[in-house]
Amino acid sequence: MAGREEAKKLGLTDVEYDEILKVLGREPNYLELNLYSVMWSEHCSYKNSKPVLKRFPTQGPQVLQGPGENAGIVDIGDNLAVAMKVESHNHPSAIEPYQGAATGAGGMIRDIFTMGARPIALLNSLRFGSLDNKRAKFLFEGAVAGIGDYGNAMGIPTVGGEVYFDDSYKENPLVNAMCVGIIRHDKIVRGKAAGVGNSVMVVGAATGRDGMHGASFASGELSDDNQDQGSPMQVGDPFKEKQLMEACLELLQKEWVVGVQDMGAAGVVSSTCETAARAGNGIELDVALVHQREKDMKPHEIMISESQERMLVIVEKGHEDDVKRIFEKWDLEAVKIGTVTDDGMLRILENGKLVGEVPAVSLAEGAPAVKRESKRPAYMDELNIDLSKIPVPADLNKILAQLLDLPNIASKAMVYRQFDQTSGTDTVVKPGSNAAVLRIKGTKKGIAISIDGYGYYCYLDPYEGGKQVVAEAARNLVVSGAKPLALTDGLNFGNPEKPEVFYQFEKCVEGISEACRHLDIPVISGNVSFYNEGKDSAVYPTPIIGMVGALDDVNKYCTMKFKKEGDVVVLLGENTDELGGSVYLKEILDVVAGPAPRLDIDLEKRIQTCCLKAIELGLVSSAHDINQGGLAVALAESCIASNLGFVGEIETDLRPDTLLFGEGQSRIILSLPEENLSVLNKLAEEIGVQVSVLGFVKSGSLKILVKQKEQVIGIIDTPVESITEIWNNAIKWRVEK
Amino acid sequence: MRCAVIKFAGTSGDGDCYHICKNILGQPTEYVFHKKTFAPQDFDLIILPGGASHGDYLRPGALAARSKVMNSILDAAKAQKCILGIGNGFQILLEAGLLPGAVLINKNLKFHCDDVFFRVENSDTPFTGLYKKGEVIRLNLACKYGNYYADSETIEQLKTKNKIILTYCDENGNPIKEANPVGSLENIAGIINSEGNILGLMPHPERCAEEILGNTDGLRIFKSILQYVEGGKVRGR
């Protein structure tokens, strides 16, 4: 038997140990205690986050599968659906970025094909310390190569992503991967161990001692002590995963397959107890039957190992040899390890001898919820300062050049060129525009996918930041011509035991939920990663939103690049007097100060409706939302992408730097043939959106005259060629330095 | 034209090639699994697709070149059937000795995916008949091991016998070093065997063959083969 002291060593609290005693009516043995320790870790149980996550709207007529499965699934019409999920692999990537990021992508891909869907796209969202820092550079290059090599070898295109550098992520980078798959409605498979007497099988790679207690490792802060532990790391094998994917997709066509579950965190134990709990059943298994690649593995090691590229499959009794035949074709093993029972117990044998027995549902869902204390961080008030005292800079051209030279704004081509973006021959809009667009072969349809997150706004104001990230992800789909359908979230926060961190978490979730409700975009899957802490403080609160939208006619997609000289350039929405939270303040003037831009969600909805309608009507040549760096950077990006320029005069009562670099929300820049302007104006009026002409597309230079009462108060005038040079090379120069 | 698309273990570009032959060209097309065999007369075109067979373990293409299906491919090669290797398929052809030389890791040690410019060096082949010699085209490149290498004697032979088919170039057709993202000798991106029936290409023409994907420069590779096969040995102009 294993007592309270042992439980503590494994990371279980007194309350949790008492709960185990209550559930079992006896002391657990060492194996059982290990099972509880991994399953009741934050990573597996979401014990800190569950009560808060209940606020997410998760319903909608388009939702075919909401949270609680391996991935969420949303209807895109014509009997087709999209499976999607975001997941983090932050702690492993902090230690060994190549394998950490690679196995993160691998786990994500498994979650998608586990549902029966064929993965068609990968995206990623990456956060590192500033590139001046040697270790940050090492983590950045390693993670990019790792995530790239894995996806590339699998032949799944990486179609989008984002990279952001800030020293809050210096010790604890964030590596979030998203996978999207396509499936027919009638082919969806769920992770259920249904049907008493059915066979439980492990398929894929053999089990070793890698990744022991990986889930628990992810549920604590990184420290110098655990940086020395090699054991929680897993190693990826994309070739095996490719074979596993093909074998599973072939297997899942069979009507005698009952359920499938990826063996991710906490391996055999999580997949067995979760599938059993979902079906209200139990599972009896013999650990000796699990195929192993190391000698003398103990029962608890086999149960909690996180060896990669394995799946749990439940099939109707009598079809075990059929499973084996399919896996043999793909040079993989498949072994029966147990049976579905009706008593709700996860019963573990070793060579026929009982070694552990616990209620499956208590492992899967019984972790006592933790009510964390929440406190508004004091820094939030200190960051609201009077910005009017900041002098207006004389040389606005220089500011624009400095902004375009920031790794956070500059081209990320150096990153995404390392990803195969075109395998599968469905990528219509590649990385570097607002969102990726993919066609669906055999239909007229397309989907657009975005992934966004902005920890800095959330740091300044978690509630507004939470709203903003959903709005931005949706805006990126809308400007691509797609109607947003559903989202998946990756919530990356610090240590939830700190009341200030928990406050950030609660408020971000509140903001996300609010935006989801108003924009009618349900949350269908997600992941929470806590304990992302550096030496001195937590990372910026960083919710990542992955979103999918649909285009009824993929040919109507839109991109941000200007198309034609002479097109009129207009602003949908209004320029606001908001300088707080801007990149300009933070990174050029070194003023970390809010308030973060406010988001009027009703206005946002109208702007998006108007933009989508205008694209669908074919009025528009290009569309781009205004974001980090403000209006000037957005115009510059459209110029650089097209190698065309812009000339315009803007009358304003704002400071010129606020107008050019402020990051007020709910603004979209459209370019269109002038003859379409009156139709657009009428449409905007009907919807209740302001349209103002900014200028015209004209080759050569980016030229903006800012005027106040007929007086010129600011000038941007720069050859497109020179800003292109800066924007293209900012990251490359820093990495190669 | 009867097309075969080989599925090596771990190959991922098979579906893309199948799609072009079957849906875009409208030709009868079959997958051939690497554990199967076929007879030379079964197919007119045999495609070895791209995409990390065996995870690129050991050397890209090295393990796939030892697959059972390779015996059938060798027979088809002897029977003068058209064989097209793309990306990893090119590497398999090199490893199988059907084409001379080898590939190294890209000069910057990184995977490189981008649309880049190529010059068609020889249009008198079954694969390039619909291009003009010297024509500059744009194709998608997506590889980590695209850095073609051979000893100087082999390079000399390729050059004198006109067996270099595609080279990296700038948009004006200049074969400059800066236009070559992988570091291959002589900017080589594609070569053909001395009999002229086996082509290996580093870029992916199958990814650039449809309007919706923004580039159709690659389609003429497939159409050239179709014309060659259907038109009875008529080679390009």
ipTM (interface predicted TM): 0.95
Nearest chain A alpha carbon to B57? A239
Nearest chain A alpha carbon to B56? A153
Beta bridge partners of residue A69, listed in sequence order? A67
Cβ <8 Å between A425 and B54: no
Residue A217 clears pLDDT 90, i.e. is over it? no
| Cβ–Cβ contact A105 with B under 8 A | no
Domains of chain B: 3-102+109-229 (3.40.50.880)
- Strand B29-33 and strand B3-7: the pairing is parallel
What b/e readout covers B98-136, taking b as 16+ CB neighbours within 10 angstroms?
A: bbbbbbebbeeebbbbebbbbbbbbbebbbbbbbeeebb
Nearest CA distance, B50 vs chain A (angstrom): 9
Instruction: For residues A144 and A98, give the distance between their C-alpha atoms in angstroms, rounded to a whole number.
Output: 7
Provide the pLDDT for residue A737: 77
Per-residue CA distances from A625 to A478, A571, A671 (Å): 9, 10, 12
Residue B235 clears pLDDT 50, i.e. is over it? no
Nearest chain A alpha carbon to B205? A425
Which positions ≥6 away from B211 have C-beta within 8 Å?
Answer: none
Residue A399 clears pLDDT 50, i.e. is over it? yes
Q: Across chain B, where does the E strand assignment appear? A: 3-7, 29-33, 45-48, 82-86, 102-104, 112-120, 136-143, 147-149, 164-168, 188-192, 198-201
Confidence of residue A215 (pLDDT cuts 50, 70, 90): low
CATH node for A62-188+411-555: 3.30.1330.10
Instruction: For residues A610-638, give the mean pLDDT.
Output: 98
Cβ <8 Å between B212 and A418: no
Q: Which of A156, A239, A428 sits opposite B57 (nearest CB)?
A: A239
Candidate CATH numbers 3.40.50.300, 3.90.650.10, 3.90.1150.10, 1.10.150.80; the one for domain A387-399+558-736: 3.90.650.10
Instruction: For residues A104 and A444, give the distance between their C-alpha atoms in angstroms, rounded to a whole number.
Output: 33
> What residue ranges do the domains of chain A occupy?
4-39+190-365, 62-188+411-555, 387-399+558-736
| Cβ–Cβ contact A325 with B under 8 A | no
Evaluate whether A420 touches A150 at the Cβ level (below 8 Å): no
Residue A306 clears pLDDT 70, i.e. is over it? yes
| Cβ–Cβ contact A141 with B under 8 A | no
Which tokens hold the place of A74? 């949303």
Cβ <8 Å between B51 and A243: no
Evaluate whether A320 touches A199 at the Cβ level (below 8 Å): yes
Which tokens hold the place of A436? 């990726």
pLDDT tens digits, one per residue of A626-646: 999 999 999 999 999 999 999
Nearest chain A alpha carbon to B206? A425
Domains A4-39+190-365 and A62-188+411-555 share a fold: no
Cβ <8 Å between B111 and A554: no
Phi, psi at A601, each rounded to 5°: -70, -30
Nearest CA distance, A331 vs chain B (angstrom): 9
Q: What is the largest CA-CA distance in chain A?
A: 89
Percent of chain A past pLDDT 70, that is, above it, reads: 97
Burial class (CB in 10 A: 0-12, 13-18, 19+), A551: buried
Which positions ≥6 away from A214 have C-beta within 8 Å?
Answer: A92, A232, A233, A234, A265, A266, A306
Q: Provide the mean pLDDT of chain B.
A: 96
Confidence of residue A223 (pLDDT cuts 50, 70, 90): low
Cβ <8 Å between B19 and A441: yes
Contacts of A154 in chain B (CB under 8 A): 12, 52
Which tokens hold the place of B165? 């088919």
Question: What is the end-to-end Cα distance of chain B in Å, rounded?
Answer: 21
| Cβ–Cβ contact A424 with B under 8 A | yes
Cβ <8 Å between B113 and A149: no
Contacts of B113 in chain A (CB under 8 A): 416-422
Provide the pLDDT for residue B12: 95
Q: Which of A145, A242, A330 sits opposite B12 (nearest CB)?
A: A242
Cβ <8 Å between A149 and B144: yes
Q: Which of B12, B15, B54 sits opposite A154 (nearest CB)?
A: B12
Which tokens hold the place of A375? 């406190």
Nearest CA distance, A239 vs chain B (angstrom): 4
Provide the pLDDT for residue A225: 53
Mutation site, B12, B20, B66, B88, interface A, largest A CB count within 10 A = B12
Residue B237 clears pLDDT 60, i.e. is over it? no
What element of type H or E holds A137?
Answer: helix A134-154
Cβ <8 Å between B113 and A421: yes
Cβ <8 Å between A423 and B142: yes
Instruction: For residues B140 and B218, give the distance between their C-alpha atoms in angstroms, rounded to a whole number.
Output: 9
pLDDT tens digits, one per residue of A156-172: 999 999 999 999 999 99
Provide the pLDDT for residue A42: 84
Nearest residue to A302 (alpha-carbon basis) of A278, A323, A271? A271
Instruction: For residues A372 and A350, give the distance between their C-alpha atoms in angstroms, rounded to a whole number.
Output: 39
Contacts of B35 in chain A (CB under 8 A): 329
Three-class secondary structure of residue B34 per DSSP? coil
pLDDT tens digits, one per residue of A558-601: 999 999 999 999 999 999 999 999 999 999 999 998 899 999 99
Cβ <8 Å between A425 and B213: yes
- pTM of the full predicted structure? 0.95
Contacts of B23 in chain A (CB under 8 A): 441
Instruction: For residues A79-83, give the mean pLDDT.
Output: 97
Cβ <8 Å between B142 and A421: yes
Q: What residues of A are annotated to the active site?
A: 43, 89
| Cβ–Cβ contact B141 with A under 8 A | no
Which tokens hold the place of B70? 């390779």
Sheet with B112-120, strands from edge to edge, namely B29-33, B3-7, B45-48, B82-86, B198-201, B188-192, B164-168, B112-120, B136-143
Which tokens hold the place of A531? 């304990």
Into which CATH architecture does domain A4-39+190-365 fall? Alpha-Beta Complex (3.90)
- Strand A622-625 and strand A668-672: the pairing is antiparallel
Contacts of A418 in chain B (CB under 8 A): 110-113
Burial class (CB in 10 A: 0-12, 13-18, 19+), A371: exposed
Contacts of A156 in chain B (CB under 8 A): 12
Which positions ≥6 away from B9 have C-beta within 8 Å?
Answer: A239, A243, A330, A331, B34, B53, B54, B63, B64, B67
Instruction: For residues A380-401, give the mean pLDDT.
Output: 92
∠ CA B4-B9-B10, rounded to 5°: 105
Cβ <8 Å between B13 and A423: yes
Nearest residue to A155 (alpha-carbon basis) of B5, B59, B113? B113
pLDDT tens digits, one per residue of B58-73: 999 999 999 999 999 9
Instruction: For residues A602 and A609, give the distance between their C-alpha atoms in angstroms, rounded to a whole number.
Output: 11
| Cβ–Cβ contact B204 with A under 8 A | yes
